Structures are given as structure tokens and as C-alpha cells.
Amino acid sequence: MTTPPTVLTIAGSDSGGGAGLQADLRTFFACGAHGMVAVTAVTVQNTIGVSGFVEIPPDVVADQIEAVAVDIGIQAAKTGMLASADIILAVASACDRVGIGKDGAIPFVVDPVAASMGGDQLLADNALDALRTELFARATLVTPNLDEVRLLTGIDVTDVPTQKRAAEALYAYGPQWVLVKGGHMKNVDDCMDLLYDGDQFYELPGPRFDTGDTHGSGDTLASAITSQLARGVPMPEAVAFGKRFIVRSVRDSYSLGKGHGPVSPFWRLSTDEV
């Protein structure tokens, strides 16, 4: 058999299985990629919320990255929950050593998990600063939602013009590409995501579904994009694939537990459509 592309997620574990590295691995599999992990934190959570977490020591996070890089090889990587400034700095250093990032050979998608589903800040201020100054400067693509945009730039996105202004502000931190997701812009009928390369804006509209079962949507989108970058697909096409993938995954989301159920990439197992 042909060996599938190898993709690394640097993220936290979700004990409820809806988001985090569990969502990443589920999406990698559905997209035909071999998923690998560098665990940053173990969370105590379910569909209702997060009640606690334990950070993995930063040197252990870095060691996981290097262990898979020197043996298996990494064709693309993404981040999720990074938990602290110390872990972010360790990840940045490890990525430099193995060639992950926009100046290396390995595409690097930074999903800055900095806000809860309710918009509350999840990272300390020094960790937000480390995201801006360390990881964004190394990123091939950053994929913040609107709550994360507000925390990172101070811009409250309410329409496409402010979405473009936010993309420009994020691009100034150094990533090669910026994707400002519009799913949290509840005052509009569709879900407009905006891709920016410092010169051109690419608009990716999509339908809005009446569901509260959207847990793991950001992880799933970023993972689908990363799986395509691992195949050498150009960024605009990889993001367009990810957009189509998450639209179907939200459409097929399912109820679970007493709170927010997850989006579902399982549709990909029964059809070749995307």
C-alpha cells in the first residue's frame, strides 16, 4: 500500500472526544492522512464544558515533536491548545529544529485556541504575546475565530470590512497566510471565511446551520486544511477544501451528552463527495 501523508497535531486531549487532538486525528483519518500527536495538555471536559486540565511539561512536548520528526517524518503540522507561554516557546524552538514553519520545508497551521465557545479568554496574557511574537511569525497559516481575533488584535469583527481589517492586523504579526473565520458573526445569514496573503483577499462563503452541535469545528477545519497542505496542495485550494469539509461536517453534526455535540467528519467515510 502507498504510505499516506504524515500530519502532526500539537494539541490538548479532550476527554469527551469532541475537540482537541481527538477531533484532529478523526479528521486526518477521514482525509486519508496518517495522524501523529504531541500532547500539550490533558483536559477534564465533556459536552458541558472544561472543568480542569493538566499541562504536559514543555520539554516533553518538544521531545514528542522531535521524536516523530526524526523517525517518521512530518509533511505538515498544526497546533491546537498550547496552554501556556512556556509550551508555546518550547514548540517554537522544536519547530525550528525540525524545519516546521513558513521558513522551513514543512507547512505549519497555527490554530490559536485562545477563547472558549462562550468567548472567554483561555490563555494568560503572556501566552497571547508568545502566540503573536513566536508562533505567528513561523506560521504558514493562522486560523483564528472572531473571539480569538478580538483577543489578539482588539478588533471586534462585525462585517466584511472589519474582517479584512483584522486579517491585515494579524498578517502584520508575520504569518504567510491568514484565515479569519466568520462562523461567530451571528448578525449575518452566511458563514463568510476570509483568506489573506498580504496582497489579495479570498472570500469563502458558506451556509449557516441552525445547530448548537459545533464542538470541534475549528479543529476540524484546520486539520482538513493541514491534511491537504501535506499533499502539496496550494493554500487557496487547501483552504477551499477545508471549507467544503467543515460545511458538511457541521451539517452532519450530532447530539451528544447534555451540552454541545461535535461536528462529524464521518460523512466522508460513506461518500467521495467534497
Q: What is the pLDDT of residue 59?
A: 98
Alpha helices in 47-159 (DSSP H): 58-71, 85-98, 125-130, 146-153
Q: In CATH, what number is assigned to the domain containing residue 18?
A: 3.40.1190.20
Domains identified in the chain, total number: 1
Q: What is the pLDDT of residues 127-172, one digit of tens each?
A: 999 999 999 999 999 999 999 999 999 999 999 999 999 999 999 9
Does any domain span residue 1? no
Q: What is the pLDDT of residues 188-231, one digit of tens each?
A: 778 899 999 999 999 999 999 989 899 999 999 999 999 999 99
Statement: residue 43 has pLDDT above 80:
yes
Does any domain span residue 160? yes
Best CA proximity match to 191, nearest among 175, 208, 179, 174: 208
Residue 139 and residue 63: Cα distance in Å, rounded? 20
Q: What is the pLDDT of residues 105-130, one digit of tens each?
A: 899 999 998 876 666 677 889 999 99
Q: What is the pLDDT of residue 124?
A: 86
Does any domain span residue 26? yes
Report phi then psi at 242, rounded to 5: -60, -40
Best CA proximity match to 76, nearest among 30, 12, 8, 141: 8
Does any domain span residue 274? no
Does any domain span residue 2? no
Query: 208 burial class (0-12, 13-18, 19+ CB within 10 angstroms)?
Result: middle
What is this structure's pTM? 0.95
Statement: residue 250 has pLDDT above 90:
yes
Report phi then psi at 200, rounded to 5: -125, 140
The H or E element that residue 248 is part of is helix 235-251
The H or E element that residue 150 is part of is helix 146-153
Task: Name 35's bridge partners.
Answer: 7
Looking at residue 267, the DSSP 8-state letter turns out to be: G
Does any domain span residue 162? yes
Residue 205 and residue 194: Cα distance in Å, rounded? 8
Range of the domain at 174: 10-269
Confidence of residue 272 (pLDDT cuts 50, 70, 90): low
Statement: residue 186 has pLDDT above 90:
no
Query: 199 burial class (0-12, 13-18, 19+ CB within 10 angstroms)?
Result: exposed
